Amino acid sequence: MTAQERKAALAKLQDPKISKPCMTGIPILYHGERRTFDAYMIPLEYLVYNKLNGRIGSIVKSYEKQNRPLDPENEEDSRIIEKFLWESKEDANKKTRMSLLYDHQQKYGIVTADGKIIDGNRRASLLNSIRRDETIPPNQKQHCNYFIAVILPVDADRKEILRLETTYQMGEDAKVDYNPIEKYLKCQDLYDEGFTRKEIASFMGETKANGEPDTSKIDLYLGVLKLMDEYLQNYHYDGIYTLLDKNEDSFQKLYSALKGYSSGSVASMWDFDPEIDTTDLKLISFDYIRSGFDQTDFRNIITKPSVGNPNRSFFGCKDIWTSFRDFHFEKIDPITDAEESVDEIRNNANGADITRLLRARDNSWKSKVSGLMLGNYNRSKDRLDNKQAADNPIKLLQKALDVLESIDTDQPSFRNDANVKQYVKDIGSLIWEYKKMLEK
């Protein structure tokens, strides 16, 4: 059915001479006014999916970036959208599917006047899968030919539809079920549509303790998404948001740190360049995020110093940062530069899933750089620990003794390596200086 045919069919369905609503008096805030609506049993063939549904927005955008735009009115594309909806929460979908079959639809959805599903895409897709399932007797699944939903008036414009989508998909407690990246994309979509930060915060259920919309959360979402886009562009993965999985915390921490450093007003800091040095920090941080580095340890690279604790991170200490940065650019960048290009991977894909091939590219890169990056991190972390413990000599002396006692002096290199002899000589000289200080 075309949009016009669906629109005519839904208008006819609402004619009291032809059918009656199955639910009445449903309160919905519509165009700023609280109104009551009725819900109808709508034949599923009258409806089309919303491809940018908040549950699968990142997946669809990633797919379209790599392949082609999806058209929900096309049967093949509709099945692709259904696949994305199923895989987005497979365990929950199995339970909901059984509930729809045996307990029927308990919660109404919302659709536009021409049949686009605003709220209820997942449930509608499960109903479609049930009615196509030939293992289920027809008399047992007859009710699954219909989707219970409110039909919005014809004056529902794009802005109002976006508001309703967000309110129902991300303004409820159920939003925790969504992939974290979805809220960033939805926030940007709303901002691009002209909504204010206050309106977006209200739609997304982001409020302060006093109940007022929390616009700072919206600033955070917009800023973090911009950083995520820069990350994807850095590796030529533009728009493939599925490659950001499980890194939300690192991006939030990095955004907060870069925002503070770029302002140039960080307490107890060396004379870094707010543009050049923070760009270096960002690029190196991107590599550590790409490597899957532990999010807690990641803080030791980027955290802003404070008056009471100036030695909180590698970047906060000029000597540690300079050494850490120079090693990274010298050892890691050549490996990254030698990677097979994304264009080459696309051209040689032969129909294979591009996202899978790009993940394989990332894994190959990780196998080459992980040891170097971890070693560089550990050396820098030791130096940072020593700085932090500088006002407690006994801890450093105990640590030094433990390290010296752990040396295997039976190794041939201990006696034959000239570097070992030089280090022993330097340690001896330093200990002699300490002894003289203590004897005064």
pLDDT digits (tens, 9 = 90+) for 282-306: 999 999 999 999 989 999 999 998 8
303 & 191 share domain: no
User: pLDDT at position 240, please?
Assistant: 92
Please indicate, yes or no, if residue 255 is contained in any of the structural domains: no
Please indicate, yes or no, if residue 340 is contained in any of the structural domains: yes
pLDDT digits (tens, 9 = 90+) for 311-356: 889 999 999 999 999 999 999 999 999 999 999 998 888 878 888 9
166 & 201 share domain: no
Answer with the one of 143, 174, 205 that is the final residue of a domain.
174
Q: Which residue did the predictor score with more confidence, 244 or 437?
A: 244
**Which are the contacts of 168, defined by CB distance < 8 A and separation ≥ 6?**
110, 118, 119
**pLDDT reading at 175 higher than 60:** no
- Tokens 């696949």 belong to 83
**pLDDT reading at 396 higher than 80:** no
Please indicate, yes or no, if residue 252 is contained in any of the structural domains: no
**pLDDT reading at 172 higher than 70:** no
185 & 36 share domain: no
Question: Which stretch of 100-109, 122-131, 257-266, 310-319 has the lowest confidence by average pLDDT?
Answer: 257-266
User: What mean pLDDT do residues 91-96 have?
Assistant: 94
386 & 412 share domain: no
The CA-based angle 347-349-351, given to 5 degrees, is: 120
Please indicate, yes or no, if residue 75 is contained in any of the structural domains: yes
Integer Cα distance of 188 and 226 in angstroms: 9
294 & 167 share domain: no
131 & 275 share domain: no
Closest-CA residue to 183 (of 214, 225, 231): 225
358 & 317 share domain: yes
Closest-CA residue to 228 (of 86, 369, 61, 357): 61
Residue 34 β-bridge partners: 29
CA atoms within 13 A on the CB side of 309: 11
User: What mean pLDDT do residues 184-212 have?
Assistant: 91
- Tokens 């752990």 belong to 406
Answer with the one of 174, 203, 233 that is the final residue of a domain.
174
Closest-CA residue to 382 (of 358, 366, 400): 400
Please indicate, yes or no, if residue 34 is contained in any of the structural domains: yes
pTM summary value: 0.79
210 & 146 share domain: no
Percent helix, strand and coil across the chain, each to the nearest 5: 60, 10, 30
334 & 413 share domain: no
Domain that residue 425 falls in: 407-439
Please indicate, yes or no, if residue 161 is contained in any of the structural domains: yes
Answer with the one of 245, 277, 293 that is the final residue of a domain.
245
Please indicate, yes or no, if residue 98 is contained in any of the structural domains: yes
User: What mean pLDDT do residues 203-216 have?
Assistant: 90
Q: Which residues of 377-391 are buried (b: 16+ CB within 10 A; e: fewer)?
A: beebbebbeebeeee
User: pLDDT at position 361, please?
Assistant: 95
Q: How far is CA 47 from the centre of its chain?
A: 30
29 & 148 share domain: yes
291 & 151 share domain: no
Please indicate, yes or no, if residue 298 is contained in any of the structural domains: yes
368 & 425 share domain: no
Number of structural domains in the chain: 4
Integer Cα distance of 91 and 94 in angstroms: 5
